[in-house]
Amino acid sequence: MDKNILQETAKKMMTLPKGILAMDESSPTIAKRLASINVENNEINRRRYRELIVTSPDLSKYISGAILFEETFDQKMEDGTLFRDYLNSIGILPGIKVDKGAKDFSCHPNEKITEGLDGLRDRLAKYYEDGAKFCKWRAVITIGKDIPSEGCIESNMNSLARYASLCQENNLVPIVEPEVLINGPHSIEDCDKVTRSTLHSLFRNLEMLNVYLPGTVLKPSMVISGEDNSSRADKDKVANMTIDCLKDCVPNDTSGIAFLSGGQTDCEAEEHLNIMNKNHSLPWRVTFSYARAIQAAALATWLGKDENLITSQSILIERASRCSRASVGEL
C-alpha cells in the first residue's frame, strides 16, 4: 500500500465542483435500460450507449471519475480506443465495479449478501496494471419486517472492509457502498436507525482491517422515507437528518462522500444534495455518484438513434452540470 498514491487519487476523485459518474450497470440492469427504449441488448448497442455518455462535450468539467462495468473497462470504442484510455485522455479517472452482485443470503430470508471476494486480489492487480485508479463494491441492506438482521449487516460490512483492504494493497482507492434500499413503506426514522447501524458496523470493520480512510470514498444512500410511505419526509428533513447521521457515524479523515441516488427522482437527488452543501458546514467533501439521475433523461431521448445523439448528450451534460452545482450548494 502506498498511502500517497491512495490519498492523491482520492483527492482527484473529490475535486471541486465534480462528482463521480456511475455507468457500471450490470448485465441484467443494462438489459432493462435498453429494453425501456426498445433497443436490442447486444455488445454493439451497449458500446454505442456508453460511448454516447463518455463523449458528451465538456463531461470532465463536472465528472472526476467514471465507474465502469467490467465489459466496458475492456471494451473499445468505435474508433478502436479503449474506454479506459479515452477517459484518461479527457481527464476523467477510470474505475471499475468489482463485486459479483447481491445474492440471496443463506438462512436469512429476504436479505442479500454481496459476493465476489474469491480471486479478487488477482483481479485487482490486473485492473491496476491496466490503468484503473479506483474500484467499487455495493452492499445491499433491506428494511422490512424483522430485517435487516445483525448477521446481514455485519457480514456485508465485513465483506466491504475485506474488499477495501485488498484494493488498497493494490493502490486502488475503494469506493465502499452500503446501500440502505428505499424500497418499502418505512419511515425516515426507520431509515436513520438502520443507516446508523450499518455505518457504525462499516467503519468498525474498516478500522479492524487497517483500511486507510484518507484513501477511501464512502458512497452511501441518503436517510430518506421509503418510496411507499404515504407521508414522506420533506427535502429539508432528508438533508438535515442525512448530515446529522453522517457526522455521527463517519470519521472526519474519510476522503469524501459521494451519494448514490437510490431510486430518487432527478430533482430529489440534486435538491437534497444542494441543501446539504448550502446549509451545512461539512468536514468532508460531499458530492454525487449518480447513474440514473444523470443518464435517464438522455437515454429516453436517444432511443438508439444516431440522429438523437447530440440532443441526448446535451441533456446528459445539463444533468451533470446541475448535480455539479448541487455539490457545492449553488443550484
Just list the catalytic residues.
Answer: 177, 219
Q: Is 168 left (phi over 0), alpha (psi -120 to 50) or beta?
A: alpha
Angle between helical axes of 309-326 and 292-302 (0-180°, round to 10): 160
How many residues does the structure list for the chain? 331
Angle between helical axes of 27-35 and 43-54 (0-180°, round to 10): 80
User: In this structure, what are the phi and psi dihedrals at residue 224, rounded to the nearest 5 degrees?
Assistant: -150, 150
Q: Please provide the DSSP assignment of 59-91 as one string.
A: GGGTEEEEEE-HHHHT-B-TTS-BHHHHHHHTT
* Beta carbons within 8 Å of 154's beta carbon, 6+ residues apart: 201, 205
User: How deeply is 248 buried, as exposed, middle or buried, from its count of CB atoms within 10 A (0-12, 13-18, 19+)?
Assistant: exposed
C-alpha cell at 106: 443463506
The neighbouring-strand residues paired with 68 are 23, 96
Run of H or E including 137: strand 134-141
User: How deeply is 231 buried, as exposed, middle or buried, from its count of CB atoms within 10 A (0-12, 13-18, 19+)?
Assistant: exposed
Cα–Cα separations (whole angstroms), residue 129 to 13, 125, 133, 163 = 19, 6, 10, 18
Question: CB of 205 within 8 A of CB of 157?
Answer: yes
